[in-house]
């Protein structure tokens, strides 16, 4: 149980809050990294011969099909 203390005007005054931005002995939190966009699925229907050509081109470029198609899209949009 807490010790009983007599009330006095000195106890009734509010002490000034500390001016530090973080409490002592508490590590400063780092800012969160910006959110990364999650890839969304995209389905297209193309002839089988074109699929083989796209897969072959992606393989020769040492990329996944998604990376290759995204690079093609960006190249198309630049022109």
Model pLDDT for residues 26-61, shown as the tens digit of each residue = 666 777 777 888 889 999 999 999 999 999 999 999
Predicted model pTM: 0.52
| Residue 74: domain span | 46-79
Distance between first and last Cα of the chain: 78
Question: What is the C-alpha to C-alpha distance for residues 13 and 72, in angstroms, rounded to an integer?
Answer: 70
- 53 within domain boundaries: yes
- 66 within domain boundaries: yes
- 4 within domain boundaries: no
- 21 within domain boundaries: no
Quote the number of domains for the chain: 1
- 9 within domain boundaries: no
The answer to whether the CB of 64 falls within 8 A of the CB of 58 is yes
């Amino acid at each position: 149980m807490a010790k009983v203390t007599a009330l006095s005007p000195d106890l009734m005054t509010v002490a000034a809050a500390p001016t530090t931005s973080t409490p002592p002995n508490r590590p400063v939190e780092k800012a969160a990294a910006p959110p990364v966009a999650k890839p969304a699925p995209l389905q297209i229907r193309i002839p089988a011969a074109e699929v083989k050509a796209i897969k072959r081109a992606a393989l020769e470029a040492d990329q996944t099909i998604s990376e290759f198609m995204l690079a093609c899209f960006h190249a198309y949009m630049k022109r």
